[in-house]
């Protein structure tokens, strides 16, 4: 069976060169170790008294850890490391069918404790018994009581053990920037009461390919802010990252990045990525900070109710660091508290298109609602273009040009 | 529709949308109107619930209301509904709008005081009051000049479980337009 496991590790496809081998033993081992200790105490009283305590005995698991992994290393072809330094974990699991039955002696030894745990099903949903828990409980049980319920020395197991194993990997993070060239795709899956409103999303169009390329169990999407469905993301794109859980491939060469970029970009022309790289977990913090701190740049296509005077519109370019008071836009009021937030419009540029149409360039602080800057959201955003220009102004389209 | 129906457009912003499409105002783009007309057809205290796609609703006057049809001046918007209930004091805190006053369809939000009559504005939908529109409290003429935009009277959040029943009890724009045109 060990040979089977070793072969599985070799053919698993994980591109690791280090691993950590651990073992999980039946919990009834704790009871048996306790029983054996009581036996040695009784029989070797004269020799042991005062010289040896239960805690001095090296646990079986520890001895296994000292000896066994090194035997496997050469066959598996990976360097063994103990502790948290490796990123590839192989856990051997020893199971015994009578484990649960033997554990039930705990209910008789510490009835109050284990009966209570049996009731708390959501805290103890993985099982009422744990190695730590059992060791602690046994500490409070008297020798005589223990010997009443469990044989000392422990009985020889009469059924064989089962050996199984699990392989897992620490997560890696893949970062980059994405551009969205359509006004019909949401950033993340759009579901209302469990029903999809749009058949895909930026997250899925990129994530599906990342998952495929790295051969991982799951990908989790993070981005530095987001844009609406009907807003394009242009320029160098929005920073994003995927946490790749349990991926087979974790080492990427320059050409791997190029291949992955091409794989994603060929998937759909409306979603394009660039600057892919593996990033550390700590850079993810900066991703979220950027969302709150960085300035953003936009282009808005604006329309006025009546023909405007270019001179009047050009006045917008004179504003520097204009402070807006934005009351929560009605279109997000269902999920945000009704509050007034200060936002800053650092600068604006204006380009005339025709007598009622113009392009507005905006640089603003993070979190500024640009659509509401233009039409005012029934004056919940003040000032707004309607109030500044003295004419009803509305927004027809919005692009994010820099994040 | 599927992925193939979505096209990539990298051109300038003015080429990225269909400019020939008919222009729709903010209210027309995001809100669907539902009408509650007064049983008393001489008084015609007709109201409108503008329902946003996210369920937030605005209470406004319907186009057939005398304040709009006769261009009446509103002297005051009185939010003191009873001796102990002042709608202006409403506080809806946090995402869940905790503490927002509970409203039935016939709960009175405020009274509009004109020269000849006093109109009661009802909530129309079973909902939580998010806020009265401060703008119209200071400037009542907005109700007359911009009824379905800056002149909305209150913002409510209808209860999720009761919104469908509520919509069914009100008139759609089509039904409302038909009744009003037949009245003339």
Closest Cα of chain B to A334: distance in Å? 6
- pLDDT higher than threshold 90 for residue B171: yes
Please confirm, yes or no, whether A228 is among the known catalytic residues: yes
- Interface check for A310 against chain B (CB to CB < 8 A): the answer is no
- pLDDT higher than threshold 70 for residue A125: no
- pLDDT higher than threshold 80 for residue A48: no
- pLDDT higher than threshold 90 for residue A379: yes
The pLDDT of residue B103: 96
Per-residue pLDDT tens for A8-20?
A: 888 888 888 888 8
* Interior/surface letters A15-41, b for 16+ CB within 10 angstroms, e for the rest: ebeebbbebebbbbbbbbbbbebbebb
The pLDDT of residue A59: 80
Per-residue pLDDT tens for A232-278?
A: 999 999 999 999 999 999 999 999 999 999 999 999 999 999 999 99
Q: Note whether B14 and B22 are within 8 A (CB).
A: no
What is the C-alpha to C-alpha distance for residues A188 and A201, in angstroms, rounded to an integer?
5
The pLDDT of residue A145: 84
The pLDDT of residue A126: 65
- The catalytically annotated residue of A17, A164, A228, A230 is A228
What is the C-alpha to C-alpha distance for residues A189 and A198, in angstroms, rounded to an integer?
7
- Interface check for B160 against chain A (CB to CB < 8 A): the answer is no
Q: Parallel, antiparallel, or unpaired for β A88-95 and A18-24?
A: parallel
In A, which residues are within 8 Å of B13 by CB distance? 299-301, 359, 397, 399
The pLDDT of residue B1: 55
Determine which of A330, A362, A387 to mutate to test the interface with B (most B C-beta atoms within 10 Å).
A330
- pLDDT higher than threshold 70 for residue B175: yes
Residue in chain B closest to A378 (alpha carbons) equals B150
Share of residues in chain A with pLDDT > 90 (%): 52
Taking residues A163-180, report their average pLDDT: 92
- Which of A269, A301, A330 faces B56 most closely, judged by CB atoms? A330
The pLDDT of residue B139: 95
Q: Note whether A138 and A30 are within 8 A (CB).
A: yes
Q: Note whether A41 and A202 are within 8 A (CB).
A: no
* Interior/surface letters A44-62, b for 16+ CB within 10 angstroms, e for the rest: eeeeeeeeeeeeeeeeeee
- Do B17 and A301 count as a contact with CB atoms less than 8 A apart? yes
- Which of A270, A299, A396 faces B8 most closely, judged by CB atoms? A270
- Interface check for A206 against chain B (CB to CB < 8 A): the answer is no
Please, which pLDDT band fits residue A361 given cuts at 50, 70 and 90?
A: very high
- Interface check for B150 against chain A (CB to CB < 8 A): the answer is yes
What is the C-alpha to C-alpha distance for residues A216 and A167, in angstroms, rounded to an integer?
12
- Which of B7, B95, B150 faces A335 most closely, judged by CB atoms? B95
The pLDDT of residue A101: 83
Q: Note whether A209 and A260 are within 8 A (CB).
A: yes
List residues bridging with B131 in a β-sheet: B155
ipTM: 0.92
Per-residue pLDDT tens for B20-37?
A: 999 999 999 999 999 999
CB-CB neighbours of A244 under 10 Å: 26
Taking residues B30-48, report their average pLDDT: 95
Phi and psi for A272 in degrees, rounded to 5? -125, 140
Share of residues in chain B with pLDDT > 90 (%): 91
What is the C-alpha to C-alpha distance for residues A259 and A275, in angstroms, rounded to an integer?
12
- Residue of B94, B45, B39 whose CA lies nearest to B65: B45
Per-residue pLDDT tens for A278-321?
A: 999 888 888 888 888 889 999 999 999 999 999 999 999 999 99
In A, which residues are within 8 Å of B51 by CB distance? none
- Interface check for A265 against chain B (CB to CB < 8 A): the answer is no
- Is the peptide bond preceding residue A383 cis, with omega within 30 degrees of 0? yes
Q: Parallel, antiparallel, or unpaired for β B57-61 and A340-352?
A: unpaired
Mean pLDDT for all residues in chain B: 94
- Interface check for A269 against chain B (CB to CB < 8 A): the answer is yes
- Look up the pTM and report it: 0.81
Taking residues A36-60, report their average pLDDT: 77
| Lookup: tokens for A92 | 């051997």
| Lookup: tokens for A230 | 């009907």
Residue in chain A closest to B149 (alpha carbons) equals A378
The pLDDT of residue A270: 96
- pLDDT higher than threshold 60 for residue B7: yes
Per-residue pLDDT tens for A315-346?
A: 999 999 999 999 999 999 998 999 999 999 99
Mean pLDDT for all residues in chain A: 89
Taking residues A121-125, report their average pLDDT: 70
- pLDDT higher than threshold 60 for residue A193: yes
The pLDDT of residue A64: 84
- Which of A270, A338, A359 faces B130 most closely, judged by CB atoms? A338
List residues bridging with B145 in a β-sheet: none
Per-residue pLDDT tens for B122-168?
A: 999 999 999 999 999 999 999 999 999 999 999 999 999 999 999 99
- pLDDT higher than threshold 70 for residue B73: yes
């Amino acid at each position: 069976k060990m040979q089977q496991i070793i072969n599985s590790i070799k053919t698993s496809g994980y591109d690791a060169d280090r691993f950590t081998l651990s073992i999980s033993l039946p919990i009834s081992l704790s009871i048996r170790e306790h029983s054996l200790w009581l036996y040695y105490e009784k029989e070797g009283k004269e020799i042991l008294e005062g010289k040896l305590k239960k805690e001095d005995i090296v646990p079986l698991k520890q001895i296994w850890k000292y000896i066994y992994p090194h035997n496997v290393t050469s066959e598996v072809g990976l360097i063994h490391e103990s502790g948290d330094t490796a990123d590839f974990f192989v856990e051997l699991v020893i199971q015994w069918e009578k484990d649960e039955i033997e554990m039930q002696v705990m209910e008789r030894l510490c009835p109050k404790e284990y009966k209570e745990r049996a009731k708390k099903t959501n805290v103890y949903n993985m099982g009422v018994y744990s190695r730590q828990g059992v060791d602690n409980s046994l500490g409070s049980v008297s020798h005589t009581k223990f010997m009443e319920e469990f044989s000392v020395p422990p009985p020889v197991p009469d059924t064989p053990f089962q050996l199984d194993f699990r392989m897992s990997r620490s997560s890696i993070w893949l970062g980059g920037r994405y551009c969205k060239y359509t006004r019909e795709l949401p950033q993340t899956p759009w579901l209302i009461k469990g029903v999809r409103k749009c058949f895909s999303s930026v997250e899925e169009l990129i994530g599906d390919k990342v998952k495929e390329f790295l051969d991982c169990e799951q990908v989790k999407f993070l981005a530095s802010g987001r844009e609406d469905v009907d807003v394009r993301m242009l320029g160098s794109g929005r920073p994003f990252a995927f946490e790749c859980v349990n991926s087979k491939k974790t080492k990427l060469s320059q050409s791997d990045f190029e291949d992955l970029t091409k794989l994603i970009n060929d998937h759909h022309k409306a979603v394009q990525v660039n600057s892919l790289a593996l990033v550390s977990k700590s850079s993810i913090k900066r991703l979220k900070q950027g969302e709150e701190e960085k300035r953003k740049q936009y282009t808005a296509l604006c329309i006025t109710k009546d023909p405007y005077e270019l001179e009047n519109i050009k006045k917008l370019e004179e504003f520097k660091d204009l402070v807006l008071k934005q009351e929560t836009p009605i279109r997000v009021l269902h999920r945000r508290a009704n509050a007034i937030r200060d936002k800053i419009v650092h600068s604006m540029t204006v380009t005339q298109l025709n007598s009622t149409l113009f392009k507005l360039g905006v640089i603003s602080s993070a979190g500024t609602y640009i659509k509401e800057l233009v039409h005012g959201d029934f004056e919940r955003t003040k000032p707004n273009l309607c109030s500044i220009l003295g004419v009803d102004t509305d927004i027809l389209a919005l692009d994010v040009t820099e994040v | 529709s599927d992925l193939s129906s979505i096209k990539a457009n990298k051109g300038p912003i003015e080429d990225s949308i269909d400019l020939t499409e008919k222009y729709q105002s903010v209210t027309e783009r995001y809100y669907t109107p539902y009408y509650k007309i007064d049983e008393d057809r001489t008084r015609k205290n007709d109201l409108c619930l503008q329902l946003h796609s996210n369920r937030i609703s605005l209470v406004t006057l319907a186009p057939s209301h005398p304040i709009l049809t006769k261009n009446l001046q509103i002297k005051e918007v009185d939010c003191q509904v009873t001796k102990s209930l002042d709608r202006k004091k409403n506080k809806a805190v946090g995402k869940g709008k905790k503490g927002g006053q509970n409203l039935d369809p016939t709960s009175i939000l405020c009274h509009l005081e004109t020269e000849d009559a006093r109109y009661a504005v009802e909530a129309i939908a079973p909902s939580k009051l998010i806020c009265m529109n401060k703008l119209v409290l200071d400037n009542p003429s907005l109700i007359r000049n911009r009824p379905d935009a800056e002149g909305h009277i209150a913002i409510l959040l209808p209860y999720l479980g009761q919104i469908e029943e509520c919509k069914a009890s009100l008139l759609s724009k089509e039904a409302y337009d038909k009744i009003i045109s037949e009245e003339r």
